[in-house]
Amino acid sequence: MSDEYIFGWHAVEAVLKREPERLQRLWIQTGRQDRRVKTVTSALDEMGVTWELVHRRELDERVAGVHQGVVAQVGKSKEWSEADMLAMLAGSDKPPFLLVLDGVTDPHNLGACLRTADAVGVQAVIVPKDKSASLTPVARKVACGAAETVPLVRVTNLARTLRTLQEEGVWLIGTAGEADSSLYQADFRGAVALVMGAEGKGMRRLTREHCDLLINIPMLGHVDSLNVSVATGVCLYEALRQRQA
């Protein structure tokens, strides 16, 4: 048995749908008898996976966060490498559409970015192994199942990965408040990777230097920045608008 847990109905249902072999055990809060519970438990019975009804207190002790009355023990998910991502892109008939998160350390923000990435069709999210949030139970819960659909590629040297993407013809568009070009002047229609910086600090110097274009998000009010997950959503949906046109 592994020591990895997921919680929240969206996250559990996503694993059940896409990676059912990872499910090892499930706990459900007593008192729930709705169709959602019956659908999940029936599937678990067919698979021979143990599940049980427990008091909410036991769920609270297993995980930190709003578990919605369901917690699952799961086998470890596959960790994607740069080679895995390049092979996936080479086998796709669509131009690469990627998201790079440079130093996003808050698991809530990582989960929210994954959720938006899934919604707009991003093929992979790339993060550095150091100084970056990982797929914690909280990140998976916030992602609402997207952590099981969008590959999270953890790389040792982000600058080297960015150079590799450029050699593969991917245009790197980074966000920076002081940039001269606006989000709405950028061309997202081809092979592109959107590069977002850390909460507060923005992109690191080396990351910034590897970008082919720096853009800003127009800010007309008194605040001078957006939360990184909100900024990512704004940029990704502009990219989707262009790619669908």
- pLDDT by residue (tens digit) across 132-141? 999 888 898 8
pLDDT of amino acid 2:
66
CA atoms of 232 and 194, how far apart (whole Å) = 8
pLDDT of amino acid 19:
87
Q: Does 82-244 match 4-74 at the fold level? A: no
Which residue numbers in the chain have pLDDT < 70?
Answer: 1-2
Q: What is the H or E stretch that residue 160 is in? A: helix 158-167
Instruction: Specify the DSSP class assigned to residue 137.
Output: H
Coil/strand/helix, residue 227: coil
pLDDT of amino acid 1:
62
The three-point CA angle 107-111-114 to 5° equals: 140
Strands 23-29 and 70-74, bridge-based pairing: antiparallel
Q: Domain 4-74 is in which class?
A: alpha beta
Known binding site for S-adenosyl-L-methionine: residues?
197, 217, 226
Domain boundaries, the chain: 4-74, 82-244
| Residues 192 and 166 sit within 8 Å (Cβ to Cβ) | no
Supply the CATH classification number for the domain 82-244. Answer: 3.40.1280.10
- 199-230 residue pLDDT tens: 778 899 999 999 999 999 998 888 877 899 99
pTM: 0.86
Known binding site: residues?
197, 217, 226
Of 199, 197, 164, 167, nearest to 179 by C-alpha is: 197
CA atoms of 214 and 92, how far apart (whole Å) = 27
Where are the strands (E) in the chain, listed by range? 4-7, 23-29, 50-54, 70-74, 97-101, 124-128, 152-155, 171-175, 181-182, 192-196, 213-216
CA atoms of 48 and 24, how far apart (whole Å) = 9
